[in-house]
Amino acid sequence: MFNNLLKKEKPRVFLGTLSVVPRTDFKKIDEWGVFHKEDIDSEFRQTLEEIFSLPLAAEVEKPLKTDLVLDVIISQFQSGDAWGIDVGIIEFPIFWRPKVEVKSRLYSLKSKKTKKVFSATEKIKWSKFFNRILSWRGLLRFRPVFDKSDMNYLLYKACHRLLLEMKKSL
């Protein structure tokens, strides 16, 4: 009997907005060959829609006091590469690993007040990075070293971590 009094009602969660922040940094040149500029947003947005398949907040007719809305944004991503800068007799290697950063905001549907903000970043492990860079694919560059499947893998991992954090907080 006392257990029923102490149990909180789990809130319903609805989907707000899904978005991808466009890249403006110098590393966006690493997208050449991996993505076409036009399909970066749509590719990631489609993956987000698959992961967060929730009812839309805009379609709720009778919101409850406990209803929550989830907004998700891919705030940063890079596909990764390795270059060398030649300065006379010395060459400096420059590396950056594929990375995806996802942020989300959970807020009340009725009051629009933010309950919690979450963030998750996933990068390819250094061992996998160097294995790929030093492979025939990486040395000959006949196709991109890191492709859409690598980026989607990181996106799924980041979203999984984000969902686990959200589950703990609810």
Structure confidence at residue 22 as a pLDDT band (50, 70, 90): confident
Exposure string for 86-122, b = 16+ CB within 10 A, e = fewer: eeeeeeeeeeebbbbbbbbbbbbbeeeeeeeebebbb
Residue 21 clears pLDDT 60, i.e. is over it = yes
pLDDT, tens only, 78-123: 888 877 888 888 888 888 889 999 999 999 998 999 999 999 999 9
Residue 53 lies in a domain: yes
pTM for the predicted model, two decimal places: 0.81
CA 30 to chain centre: 18
Residue 34 lies in a domain: yes
Residue 24 lies in a domain: yes
pLDDT at residue 103 in the model:
96
User: Domain limits at 64?
Assistant: 8-169
pLDDT at residue 30 in the model:
53
Residue 83 lies in a domain: yes
pLDDT, tens only, 122-146: 999 999 988 888 888 778 877 778 8
Residue 3 lies in a domain: no
Residue of higher predicted confidence among 108 and 28 = 108
pLDDT at residue 159 in the model:
95
Residue 3 clears pLDDT 70, i.e. is over it = no
Domain count, the chain: 1
Residue 139 lies in a domain: yes
d(C-alpha 162, C-alpha 159), whole Å: 5
d(C-alpha 144, C-alpha 135), whole Å: 12
Residue 1 lies in a domain: no
